[in-house]
Amino acid sequence: MTLSGKTALVTGASRGIGAAIALGLAENGADIVITDLERQAEDSAGVQAAIEKTGRKCYNYALDVTSKTDIDAVVAKATEASGGIDILVNNAGILVPGLLSEIDEKSWDAHFDVNAKGVLLVTNAVLPQMRARKAGRIVNIASIAGRQGVPTQGHYAATKATAITLTRVYAQEVGMDGITVNAICPGIILTEMGKNNLGSQEAIDHWSDVAALKRLGDPKDIIGPTVFFASDQSQFVTGQSLNVCGGIYFH
């Protein structure tokens, strides 16, 4: 299988896109380190059981991506248990909509802490071992919102634009160490976040109709592109951001 012998760490992996990616990477041969907030312990245990059913190893740790202390401890434990992290998927994210003119500082900071600083902190914790091995794959889950900017999601879009920029700059800073860094920009994916964001069946129907493929995304739609970026199939691709949106956005 494509990812045999590799270990992947996925953040925000208890549900939604992160859970699908974790299971999808396992189905393609990787052992998986799943991480999510402590409050998601029950869902994380379910994902762990599903991964173990594939025959792959699964290590499960509570991790808040805004806490450097947590990150350093979990990366150390996961590295020792698994033998090393070859693939990092920065997936954890939050979206609480609000108009920019009304947004409070607390919400702005919370979005940047999780969606932007979280990418920085987890990446920096994993990079030293990738550099030492002269190999690594990093996949950041950004958003088409980060390319386009969407009303009521200005703060979120700014964090995702940051994730796209971090992807480009990391790629140039670590390419000489055999590490690639790419991003996926999902469109509207029907997870808790996606459904809350749309709010109504009318909105789901509207955006399904706008999409070239006439449907919205399922978390499983993100697996193939992640496996591609995580594998040697993409060995000459770095610093890129790929829209995975069913043809809802084209730039």
Is the Cβ–Cβ distance between 10 and 32 less than 8 Å? yes
**In angstroms, what is the minimal distance from the CB of 28 to ligand NAP?**
19
Q: What is the 3-state secondary structure (H, E, C) of the chain?
A: CCCCCCEEEECCCCCHHHHHHHHHHHHCCCEEEEEECHHHHHHHHHHHHHHHHCCCCEEEEECCCCCHHHHHHHHHHHHHHHCCCCEEEECCCCCCCECHHHCCHHHHHHHHHHHHHHHHHHHHHHHHHHHHHCCEEEEEECCCHHHHCCCCEHHHHHHHHHHHHHHHHHHHHHHHHCEEEEEEEECCECCHHHHHHHCCHHHHHHHHHHCCCCCCECHHHHHHHHHHHHCHHHCCCCCCEEEECCCCCCC
Nearer to ligand NAP, 66 or 180 (CB): 66
156 given a catalytic annotation: yes
Residues 143-172 that bind ligand NAP (CB under 6 A): 143
Q: Return the range that interacts with ligand NAP (CB under 6 A); candidates 9-17, 25-33, 128-136, 231-239.
A: 9-17
Binding mask 126-145 for ligand NAP (x = CB under 6 A): ---------------x-x--
Q: Return the range that interacts with ligand NAP (CB under 6 A); candidates 57-65, 78-86, 166-174, 229-237.
A: 57-65
Q: How many residues bind ligand NAP (CB under 6 A)?
A: 30
Query: 214: phi > 0 → left, psi -120 to 50 → alpha, else beta; which?
Result: left
Nearer to ligand NAP, 92 or 171 (CB): 92
Residues 182-221 that bind ligand NAP (CB under 6 A): 186, 188-189, 191-194
15 binds ligand NAP (CB under 6 A): yes
**In angstroms, what is the minimal distance from the CB of 29 to ligand NAP?**
23
Q: Return the range that interacts with ligand NAP (CB under 6 A); candidates 26-34, 46-54, 59-67, 131-139.
A: 59-67
37 binds ligand NAP (CB under 6 A): yes
Distance CA 34, CA 61 (A): 6
Q: Return the range that interacts with ligand NAP (CB under 6 A); candidates 2-10, 91-99, 168-176, 228-236.
A: 91-99
Binding site for ligand NAP (CB under 6 A): 11-12, 14-18, 36-37, 39-40, 63-66, 91-95, 114, 141, 143, 186, 188-189, 191-194
Active site residues: 156
